Chains A and B, each alone.
Chain A
Amino acid sequence: MTTDALRATLRPLKKSRPFDLAGLSFTALSGFAAFLIVAMVAVILGDVVIHGAGTVTWEFLSAAPKEGMTKGGIFPAIYGTVLLVVLMTVALVPFGVGAAVYLHEYARPDAWFTRAVRFAVANLAGVPSIVYGLFGLGFFIHFIGGSVDRALGLDVVFGQPALMWAALTLALLNLPVVIVTTEEALRTVPREMREASLGLGATRWQMVRHVLLPQAMPGILTGAILSVSRGAGEVAPILFTGAAYYLPFLPHSPTDQFMELGYHVFVLATQSPDIDATKPLLYGTVLVLLLITFLLNITAILLRARLRAQLAGRS
Chain B
Amino acid sequence: MTTGSRPLRPGHDAAAFRRHQILRENVIAWILRGCAFSAVAGLLLIVLFVFKEAWPILGDRVTQQEANLAGFFSQPLWQPVSETPKYGFTPLFAGTIKVVLVSMLFAVPIGVLAALFATEFASPRLREILKPCIELLAGIPSVVLGFFGLMVLASWLQPITHAPVRLNAFNAGIALGLGIIPTVFTVCEDALRAVPKSFREASLALGATPWQTAWNVALPAASAGVGAGVLLGLARAVGETMIVLMASGNAAITSGDVFDSARTFSATIAAELAEVVVGSPHYATLFFLGALLFLLTFFINVAAGAFVDRLRRKLAGA
Do A126 and B235 have beta carbons less than 8 Å apart? yes
Size of the B side of the interface (Cβ < 8 Å), in residues, is 92
Task: Determine the chain A residues whose CB is within 8 A of the CB of B130 once the complex forms.
Answer: 34, 37-38
Chain B 3-31 interface residues, beta-carbon cutoff 8 Å to A = 21, 24-25, 28-29, 31
Closest residue of chain A to B304, judged by CB? A126
Stretch at the interface among B57-65, B135-143, B310-318: B135-143
Report if B211 contacts A (CB, 8 A): yes
**Is there contact, CB below 8 Å, between A47 and B293?**
no
- In the complex, which residues 276-302 of chain B have their Cβ closer than 8 Å to any Cβ of chain A? 278, 286-287, 290, 293-294, 297-298, 300-302
B105 at the interface (CB under 8 A from A): no
| Interface pick from B41-49, B77-85, B90-98, B194-202 | B41-49
Q: Chain B nearest CB: distance from A112 CB in Å?
A: 11
Asked if A139 contacts B49 (CB within 8 A), the reply is: yes
Cα distance, A27 to B28, chains bound together (Å) = 56
CA distance A94 to B290 in the complex (A): 29
Contact digits for A21-38, partner B, Cβ 8 Å, 1 yes 0 no: 011101101111110111
Verify if B260 is at the interface (C-beta below 8 Å from A): no
Q: Which residue of A lies closest to B211 (CB)?
A: A23
Instruction: Give which listed residue, A30, A99, A236, A289, contacts B113 with CB less than 8 A.
Output: A30
A-B contacts counted at CB < 8 A amount to 269
A294 near B246 with CB under 8 A, answer: no
Question: Considering the complex, which residues of chain A in the window 121-160 have a beta carbon less than 8 Å from any beta carbon of chain B?
Answer: 121-124, 126-135, 137-139, 142-143
Contacts known (A107-B36, A117-B36); A128 close to B239, Cβ less than 8 A: yes
Encoded as 1 (CB less than 8 Å from any A CB) or 0, chain B from 242 to 282 comes to 10011000000000000000000010011001100010000
Q: Which residue of A lies closest to B239 (CB)?
A: A128
Query: How near does chain B come to A92, taking the closest CB pair, in angstroms?
Result: 10
For B301, give its contact among A38, A116, A126, A130 (CB under 8 Å).
A126
Residues of A within 8 A of B278 (CB): 142
Looking at B67-75, B148-156, B157-165, the stretch in contact with chain A turns out to be: B148-156
Using A102-B33, A106-B29, A179-B39 as known contacts, say yes or no to A47 and B152 having CB atoms under 8 A apart. yes
Q: Which residues of B contact A44 (CB under 8 A)?
A: 140, 144-145, 148, 152, 178
Q: Verify A33–B147 contact, CB threshold 8 A.
A: no
> Is the CB of A233 closer than 8 A to any CB of chain B?
yes
Interface size for A (C-beta < 8 A) is 86
Tell me if A45 is interfacial: C-beta within 8 Å of chain B.
Answer: yes
Closest Cβ–Cβ distance, residue B270 to chain A (whole Å):
6
| A40 interface residue per 8 A CB criterion | yes
Asked whether B305 is an interface residue with its Cβ less than 8 Å from the other chain, the reply is yes
Q: What distance in Å separates the Cβ of A125 from its nearest Cβ neighbour in chain B? A: 8
Inter-chain contact A205/B28, CB cutoff 8 Å: yes
Residues from chain B with a CB closer than 8 A to the CB of A32 are 113
A88 at the interface (CB under 8 A from B): no
Whether the Cβ atoms of A266 and B121 lie closer than 8 Å is no
Query: Among residues 29 to 58 in chain A, which have CB atoms less than 8 Å away from a CB atom of chain B?
Result: 29-34, 36-38, 40-41, 44-45, 47-48
Q: Which of A24, A41, A135, A263 contacts B45 (CB 8 A)?
A: A135
* Residue picked from B38, B135, B238, most chain A C-beta under 10 Å: B38
How far does the Cβ of B123 sit from chain A's closest Cβ, in whole Å?
11
Pick the contact of B287: A36, A134, A262, A279 (CB < 8 A): A134
Listed A/B pairs (18) with beta-carbon separation below 8 Å = A30-B113, A32-B113, A34-B118, A40-B137, A41-B133, A95-B35, A101-B32, A106-B29, A126-B232, A126-B239, A127-B294, A130-B293, A131-B239, A135-B49, A138-B50, A205-B25, A229-B139, A290-B140
Contacts from B to A (Cβ < 8 Å) = 21, 24-25, 28-29, 31-40, 42-46, 49-50, 52-53, 109-111, 113-114, 116-118, 120-122, 126, 129-130, 132-137, 139-148, 150-152, 178, 181, 185, 209-212, 214-215, 232, 235, 238-242, 245-246, 266, 269-270, 273-274, 278, 286-287, 290, 293-294, 297-298, 300-302, 305
